Structure 1
Amino acid sequence: MPDPESELQGVAALLAERRVELTAFLVREFGERIPELPRDPVLVDLLNGSAGSNLETLAHLLRGHVPVTDIQAPAAAVEYARRLAQRGTSPSALLRAYRLGQQLILRWAYEEIERRVPDPLLALQTSRLLTDTSFVYVDAVSEEVMGAYQSERERWLTNRSAVQRETVDALLRDDRLDLAATEAALGYRLRQHHLGLVLWTAPGAGDLAAVERTVGRIAEQLGAGGHPLFVPRDRETAWAWVPIGRTADADLGVVGTVVAGCDPAVSVAVGSPGAGEPGFRTTHLGAAAAHEVAQLGQHPAGHVIAYDDPTVRAAALLARDLPTTRRMVRGTLGDLADDSEGAARLRETLLAFVEERESYVATAARVHLHKNTVKYRVDRAVEARGKPLGEDRLDLELALIACRWLGPEVLARG
């Protein structure tokens, strides 16, 4: 008397017999429907091995050769998952392959059951048994290969990051290195223009995955000619270099646009574009100097600070000797150096007034105030300072710049 188990064993035998044909079918479907999967010959060959070994193991399970409790992912499937981890392929692509593979094989098997089993009730029972068994198999195997993927990804990133950090540190020290070997170790071409970035998150909000996504979006918006170099430094900070090709011309304004639309906890310091191996160093040094200014100034998360801004460059120099800068700020600004909201408004207006060559009209347009309001604030600022506007003019501008960017580090606390 036919029963679901015996009918299912017949389908399993056919599955084993047609394994090569079905494997090729699955690989073709994966290539068309999951574009994230790598398509180079080595990885496609591994995908063939993974799909084929999964079908073979599933056939053994359906025929009762392997107990359900002993289900293990085939070695070829585990190796394919590890290679995807090394390539940085999204784990969702791997999971989708298992779901799609299950769907396609079930569809094929249902058609075979319909053709082989004339009794509708027996066909239904056989299909249910097949469905239940296939879900148990895919659940167990996909969990195991995802574990292998995560372990390999962590190991790969740790090893790669260690090599990259050592290589980057050597480059920044200006050690004499073999250029081709250095590029191979970094996975990044040095013979082009670079834009250096330092990225960080708010304390306790460390999410380097969000930071890396931000770098990727910046590179995309800048039209990068290759993958950016991303080097984590700790849980909350990373360095990055974006390849911008043969010219230093880059619209750095897009960085602010990208950051505004990304994780609000991520901040970015931007260097000036540089060319070749020397430019790799200088663009990073500019970004690192801007980062130090941002850290000292305790600016809120989710902002961009660019070394191209002359006031940022001046603040970076002033930050190198904070005791002297503090004395200069307080001696030059007097009561205008108070750490208060009122004094901050006066300082910002006065700095804009100085930078706009003492034009009330230009300053009003820049700070979006009426020119009479600008004049009132400038007069109040001069009064608080206790000196005429023209006295110690260079010190005045530097002191105002220091207050803008270095804030609490140089202001007088009441």
Structure 2
Amino acid sequence: MEPGYNDDVSSTVALVVDRLLEQLGESVERIQRRITADIDELRGDPRLVELLRFSVAGNVETVLTVIRYGIDLDRAEPPTAALEYARRAAQHGIPVSALIRAYRLGQQEMLERILEEIRRSVADPDLRLAVYDRISATSFAYIDWISQQVSDTYEVERERWLEHRNSIRAVRIREILANDDPIDVDAASSALGYPLRGRHLALVLWTEQSDSPGKELLRLERFTRAAAEALRLRHTPLFVAEDTVSGWAWLPIDRVRADPAGTIRRLAETTDNSVFLALGVVDSGLAGFRRSHRLARVARKVATASGAAPRVTAADDQGIAVAALLAENVDETRRWVLDTLGALASDTANDARLRETLRVFLQESGSYTTAAKKLVLHPNSVRYRVNRALERRGRPIGDDRLDVELALLACEHFRQAVLRPVG
């Protein structure tokens, strides 16, 4: 490399950047048009669009200044408008991915402008390449740096905004759920941003405390939005925190669907396995809003009574309503189950198979053939297991058949919470 070549590169970089700064307004306009044309989420609210322009202008001026004077990014300050735009985007529910994509599109547009200016200003091909390499390298470093700044600001604001919004919503929702008194449904719908006159499916969602405290509610709300998308709902679901690791949600079932609960089950099986759900039933109007929530809470009580909840429990699952009554006092239920089933209530794999066979046999009105079809067994195998189950119980089934069926139901739902430990 010839002596002074780096000086030539630096002086040419400065020349190119100075000319770009003179045309700052035109560059900002081109980037703004490109972003709003390509990213649907960023062209809604006129006030946000206006703030986006200031964000673009701040970023373009900052990155050009960093390039012009060789400023270390560790000493740079993010543009105020850029951080404020990230906060507003968080408040409006715009995904952070849309913001990051905007920065990538803006960078692409800006590099095209830079290349045009280099071609106009520099004749030497080698010098052109060296100048472009230096500018583009700093540009990429800046985009990585500002994207992280914006993402961090977005996440902090999103959590703060959700906490504030949830605190207001929670008060209003608890007032609505507290009793069955009539209310101004239209005013309440407007305040909540949710159509109370429609059809609803209530959810109770919960998760375990994670290694990143404060992220749990975001995870639950994200699942609620995913459920709404899976059901292709026209209205936004309602979500409110119950505490730091659980929440309540309502899905506005605005279209007739054969099995919305089934859709949510399938979604739960393929997404975040740390989220647990209890579902109410689809019901209409204010009364349905309240009833679906009550049933979802009943389903959760049953799901959590065993200490090992299934991923999804629905209020209309077989036996949930009765199991909820047995869950009122699990200690007393356990004593009653042991008295009713005897050794059959032992926590072993073999006794579990015998209980399941006996439960299906009684459910099928004592038919070995029908129970065998349901269990995919030979009728003689069903007969053997039923007899073995009665031996383990210690007495035949007489007038206490209903007690036996309820005790088997309790074993199915509450498992170790009502079973006799081995040894």
TM-score in terms of structure 1 length: 0.88
- Paired letter, 2:30: F
- Paired letter, 1:291: R
- Paired letter, 1:279: G
Per-residue Cα deviation, 1:84-106 (whole angstroms, up to 9, x for no partner): 11122222322222222122212
Tell me how far apart the structure 2 counterparts of residues 361 and 144 of structure 1 sit (CA, whole Å). Answer: 67
Which of 319, 331, 353 lines up with 1:345 in the alignment? 353
Which of 378, 383, 394 lines up with 2:402 in the alignment? 394
Structure 2 match to 1:152 = 157
Q: Which is further off, 85-94 or 59-68?
A: 59-68
Tell me how far apart the structure 1 counterparts of residues 68 and 163 of structure 2 sit (CA, whole Å). Answer: 42
Does 1:257 pair with 2:263? Answer: no
Structure 2 match to 1:187 = 193
Q: Where do 5+ consecutive residues of structure 1 fail to align?
A: none
For the 8 Å contact 1:49–1:77, the answer to whether it is kept is yes
- Paired letter, 1:93: A
Structure 2 match to 1:316 = 324
Deviation at 1:198, TM superposition (A): 1.9
Q: Which is further off, 322-331 or 237-246?
A: 322-331
Of all paired residues, the percent bearing the same amino acid is 42
For the 8 Å contact 2:305–2:330, the answer to whether it is kept is no
Structure 2 match to 1:197 = 203
Per-residue Cα deviation, 1:235-288 (whole angstroms, up to 9, x for no partner): 443322211126585442222222221233333221111212221221111111
Does 1:169 pair with 2:174? Answer: yes
Q: Give 3-state SS (helix, strand or coil) of 1:56's partner.
A: helix
Q: Give 3-state SS (helix, strand or coil) of 2:253's partner.
A: strand
Deviation at 1:382, TM superposition (A): 2.5
Structure 2 match to 1:124 = 129
Which of 276, 301, 317 lines up with 1:267 in the alignment? 276
List aligned pairs for 1:295-334, cutoff 5 A.
295-299=304-308, 303-334=311-342
Q: Give 3-state SS (helix, strand or coil) of 2:165's partner.
A: helix
Structure 2 match to 1:276 = 285
Tell me how far apart the structure 2 counterparts of residues 324 and 129 of structure 1 sit (CA, whole Å). Answer: 76
Q: Which is further off, 48-57 or 266-275?
A: 48-57
TM-score in terms of structure 2 length: 0.86
List aligned pairs for 1:205-220, cutoff 5 A.
207-220=216-229
Q: Which is further off, 303-312 or 122-131?
A: 122-131
Structure 1 match to 2:380 = 372
Tell me how far apart the structure 2 counterparts of residues 222 and 128 of structure 1 sit (CA, whole Å). Answer: 49
Deviation at 1:5, TM superposition (A): 3.9
Q: Give 3-state SS (helix, strand or coil) of 2:42's partner.
A: coil
Distance 1:388 1:35, change over 3 A: same
Deviation at 1:373, TM superposition (A): 0.9
For the 8 Å contact 2:307–2:417, the answer to whether it is kept is no
Deviation at 1:346, TM superposition (A): 1.5
Does 1:74 pair with 2:82? Answer: no
Does 1:3 pair with 2:8? Answer: yes
Distance 1:384 1:331, change over 3 A: same
Q: Which is further off, 150-159 or 136-145?
A: 136-145
For the 8 Å contact 2:233–2:255, the answer to whether it is kept is no
Q: Give 3-state SS (helix, strand or coil) of 1:309's partner.
A: coil
Q: Give 3-state SS (helix, strand or coil) of 2:203's partner.
A: strand
Deviation at 1:7, TM superposition (A): 3.2
Q: Where do 5+ consecutive residues of structure 2 fail to align?
A: none
Tell me how far apart the structure 2 counterparts of residues 62 and 412 of structure 1 sit (CA, whole Å). Answer: 73
Per-residue Cα deviation, 1:3-44 (whole angstroms, up to 9, x for no partner): 344433433343233333322221222134334435332222
Deviation at 1:62, TM superposition (A): 4.9
Q: Give 3-state SS (helix, strand or coil) of 1:391's partner.
A: coil
Aligned length: 413
Which of 19, 28, 45 lines up with 1:23 in the alignment? 28
Q: Which is further off, 102-111 or 203-212?
A: 203-212
Per-residue Cα deviation, 1:67-96 (whole angstroms, up to 9, x for no partner): 877532222222211111112222232222
Q: Which is further off, 57-66 or 224-233?
A: 57-66
Q: Superposition RMSD on alpha carbons, in Å?
A: 2.9
Does 1:225 pair with 2:225? Answer: no
Tell me how far apart the structure 1 counterparts of residues 354 and 131 of structure 2 sit (CA, whole Å). Answer: 82
Distance 1:116 1:328, change over 3 A: same
Tell me how far apart the structure 2 counterparts of residues 69 and 249 of structure 1 sit (CA, whole Å). Answer: 57
Structure 2 match to 1:55 = 60
- Paired letter, 2:238: L
Distance 1:264 1:370, change over 3 A: farther
